[in-house]
Amino acid sequence: MKQQLVFKALADGTRRDILRVLRSGSKSAGELSEEFSITKASLSHHLALLLSAELVRRERRGQQLIYSLNSSVAEEVMAILFGLFSHKEDS
């Protein structure tokens, strides 16, 4: 996991919102775009960043590209946060 990519990806509110929307189930790019007031092109840009951070997965279903959460990376992020904030002598 590339730490810098993950934290940059999480830094944007729209991208965090995308993750929240995907909590209720996988969605195509088009379905996702209905939830946001930005253009499909901008949304695609955000999805590309989430993908490169491996926070979401993508698979093609016919003409559609379906996006879904990749929860395993969340666990890694939390492990890093534990590392950032736990005092050294504590553990």
Partner DNA sequence: TAGATATTTAGACTATTATCTAAATATCTA
Partner DNA sequence: TAGATATTTAGATAATAGTCTAAATATCTA
Partner that binds at residue 91, options a copy of itself, DNA, none, CB closer than 5 to 8 Å by kind: none
In the set 1, 2, 11, 38, which binds a copy of itself (CB under 8 A)?
11
- Phi, psi values for residue 28, rounded to 5°: -75, 165
CB of 63 to a copy of itself, least distance (A): 26
For the segment 24-83, give every residue that binds DNA (CB under 7 A): 28-31, 33, 37-49, 58, 60, 62-65
- Please give the angle made by the CA atoms of 59, 54 and 61, to the nearest 5 degrees: 5
Q: Where are the alpha helices (DSSP H) in 24-66?
A: 29-33, 40-52
